[in-house]
Structure 1
Amino acid sequence: MCLIVLDWQPYGHPSLQVAANRDEFHRRPSAPLQVWPDAPQVMAGRDQVSGGTWLGVSTDGRFAALTNYRDPARQRPDARSRGALVADFLTGRMPAAEHAAACMREAAQYNGFNLLLCDGRDLIWVGHGGGHPPRSSPLPPGLHALSNHLPGTPWPKLVRAREAFARVTGQGSRAATEARVDALFELLLDPTPAADADLPDTGVSLEWERRLSPVFIAGDDYGTRSRTVLVIDPAAIRIEERRHGPGGGETGRTVLTAVR
Structure 2
Amino acid sequence: MCVLALAWRAHPRWRLVVAANRDEFHARATAPLAPWPEGGVIAGRDLVAGGTWLAVTRTGGFAALTNLRGFGGPDPAKASRGALVVDLAMGAAGDAAAVNPFNAVAIRGGVATFLTNRPRVASHALAPGVHAMSNGPLDPPWPKTQRLASLIAAWLETPDADEDVLFEGLRDRSPPVEAWGDRLPPTAAGGDPVAIFVDDPVYGTRCSTLVLVDAAGRGTIVERRYDANGAFVGDDRYDFAWPGA
State the Cα RMSD in Å. 2.3
The TM-score normalised by the length of structure 1 is 0.84
Helix, strand or coil at the partner of 1:254: strand
Q: Among residues 197, 213, 227, which one is paired with 1:216 in the alignment?
A: 197
Identity percentage of aligned residues: 38
Equivalent residue of 1:154, what SS? coil
Structure 2 Cα separation of the partners of residues 30 and 200 of structure 1: 32
| Partner residue, 1:146 | 133
- The 8 Å contact of residues 127 and 150 in structure 1, kept in 2 or not, is answered as no
1:29-59 CA-to-partner distances (Å, cap 9, x unmatched) read: 11000011x2261110000011111001011
CA contact (8 A) 2:33 2:43 kept: yes
Query: What residue in structure 2 maps to residue 230 of structure 1?
Result: 211
2:80 alignment partner in structure 1: 81
For structure 2, list consecutive stretches of 5 or more residues without a partner in the other structure: none
Instruction: Tell me whether 1:156 sits opposite 2:143 in the alignment.
Output: yes
CA shift, 1:108, in A, is: 3.0
The match for 1:192 among 153, 170, 174 is 174
CA distance in 1, matches of 2:101, 2:175: 25
Shift in Å at residue 74 of structure 1?
4.9
Which residue type is aligned with residue 118 of structure 1? I
Kindly state the Cα deviation for residue 202 of structure 1 after the two structures are TM-superposed.
4.5
Displacement after TM superposition at 1:180 (Å): 2.5
Contact 1:59–1:237 (Cα < 8 Å) also in 2: no
| Structure 1 counterpart of 2:187 | 201
Residue from 225, 234, 240 that aligns with 1:243? 225
What is the SS of the residue equivalent to 1:158? helix
What is the rounded CA distance, in whole Å, between the counterparts of 2:71 and 2:241 in structure 1?
42
For 2:198 and 2:110, how far apart are their aligned partners in 1?
Answer: 34
CA deviation after TM superposition for structure 1 residue 237, in Å: 1.2
In structure 2, distance between residues paired with 1:123 and 1:14: 14
| Structure 1 residues without counterparts, runs of 5 or longer | none
**C-alpha contact 2:79 2:98 (8 A) present in aligned 1:** yes
Deviation at 1:77, TM superposition (A): 2.2
Equivalent position SS for 2:176: coil
Q: Distance in 2 between matches of 1:93 and 1:22?
A: 23
TM-score w.r.t. the length of structure 2 is 0.89
1:10 CA drift (Å)? 3.1
Does 1:182 find its partner at 2:164? yes
SS at match of 2:187: coil
**Counterparts in 2 of 1:180 and 1:200: CA distance versus 1, 3 Å:** farther
Q: How many angstroms apart in 2 are the aligned matches of 1:197 and 1:11?
A: 36
Cα separation, 2, equivalents of 1:83 and 1:122: 21
